[in-house]
Amino acid sequence: MTTPLLLEARDLTKSFDSVRALGGVSLTIPQGEVTALVGDNGAGKSTLVRCLTGVQSPDTGQILFRGEPVKLRSPEDARKMGIETVYQDLALIDDLAVWQNLFLNRELVYPLGIVNRRKMIARSAEIMRELDVDVPTVRTTVRRMSGGQRQSIAIARAVAWGEAMVIMDEPTAALGVRETAAVEKLVRKLRERGVTVLIISHDMAQVMRICDNVRVLRRGRSVAAHPVSEVDGDKLVGLITGAIPGNLETAEAAS
């Protein structure tokens, strides 16, 4: 009774000059589950995500999608496989309306090259309704939105296009309690739809609330993987700092 893997990384390495960001990371991401990626600052989480989404190329190692080796040369390659990412900086354009941000670089076009504005506005409103995102109207410019609304819009954009998988890099780091709850609700909705989610989080209570399994990175290595039912906040903190050895650390690596 094993869940099929959507994405798998084998022995990824990535260095920036003398800094070894990834020192041979392997991980598996089960299809349809919410996986947390945790680790201290500098552990390599964002670098790993950038390698999994074609933003950066690993120096060595392999990535498999649905069991097949893939080469991701750009974010576009990941997008074509149905993988969308919500980055820490959100990548929203402030001067554009909500609907324009949702359709950024994917404008619906009529045969003669005319952009189908009405259809995009209608579809945007539908997406926001489906996801229960609270914005005044999709014609409002993003500049006028709160942090939580902006985060929700960035996630909604990823959700709208990420048919297979949505990756989020610290989606609630800058949010208040209510806004965080809204984002967590979105993650649950994704899960209900069968979308695979990878979420980087520093909030262990959040990991316990919304994730199925958790993966711990320490100094560019994957040191532990557990279903959340096997861990608690204290254990996760111990795994992150190294106070508790991980179940994937070899005796050699730990010494």
Ligand X SMILES: Nc1ncnc2c1ncn2[C@@H]1O[C@H](COP(=O)(O)OP(=O)(O)O)[C@@H](O)[C@H]1O
| Tokens describing residue 251 | 């005796």
Among 39, 148, 162, 246, binds ligand X (CB under 6 A): 39
Among 46, 101, 180, 201, binds ligand X (CB under 6 A): 46
Span of 36-44, 130-138, 142-150, 246-254 interacting with ligand X by CB under 6 A: 36-44
Residues 6+ apart with CB under 8 A from 198: 7, 29, 35, 37, 49, 52, 165, 166, 167, 168
In angstroms and rounded to an integer, the radius of gyration of the C-alpha atoms of the chain is: 19
Span of 45-53, 159-167, 179-187, 203-211 interacting with ligand X by CB under 6 A: 45-53
Cα-based distances in Å from 42 to 9, 39, 50, 72, 206: 19, 8, 14, 23, 20
Residues 109 and 114: their CA atoms lie apart, in Å, by 5
Span of 45-53, 62-70, 123-131, 187-195 interacting with Mg ion by CB under 5 A: 45-53
Q: Sort strands 19-30 and 60-65 into parallel, antiparallel or unpaired.
A: unpaired
Q: Which of 144, 195, 161, 149 is nearest to 7 (CA)?
A: 195
Counting residues that bind Mg ion (by CB under 5 A) gives: 1
Give the residue with the Cβ less far from Mg ion, 46 or 196: 46
Q: Sort strands 221-227 and 68-70 into parallel, antiparallel or unpaired.
A: unpaired
Among 23, 32, 44, 246, binds ligand X (CB under 6 A): 44
φ/ψ (deg, to 5) at 162: -85, 90
Q: Please tell me whether residue 45 binds ligand X under the rule CB under 6 A.
A: yes
Question: Which of ligand X, Mg ion, none does residue 42 bind to, with CB < 5 to 8 Å depending on kind?
Answer: ligand X
| Tokens describing residue 205 | 């209570």
Counting residues that bind ligand X (by CB under 6 A) gives: 11
Residues 155 and 149: their CA atoms lie apart, in Å, by 10
Closest distance to Mg ion from the beta carbon of 141 (Å): 28
Among 28, 46, 53, 85, binds Mg ion (CB under 5 A): 46
Residues 8 and 52: their CA atoms lie apart, in Å, by 9
Closest distance to ligand X from the beta carbon of 162 (Å): 20
Closest distance to Mg ion from the beta carbon of 46 (Å): 3
String of contacts with ligand X for each residue 13-32, x by CB under 6 A: ---x--x-x-----------
Give the residue with the Cβ less far from Mg ion, 46 or 100: 46
Q: Please tell me whether residue 41 binds ligand X under the rule CB under 6 A.
A: yes
Q: Please tell me whether residue 43 binds ligand X under the rule CB under 6 A.
A: yes
Q: Amino acid identity, residue 149?
A: Q
Q: Please tell me whether residue 201 binds Mg ion under the rule CB under 5 A.
A: no
Closest distance to Mg ion from the beta carbon of 158 (Å): 17
**Interacting residue ranges for ligand X, rule: CB under 6 A:** 16, 19, 21, 39, 41-47
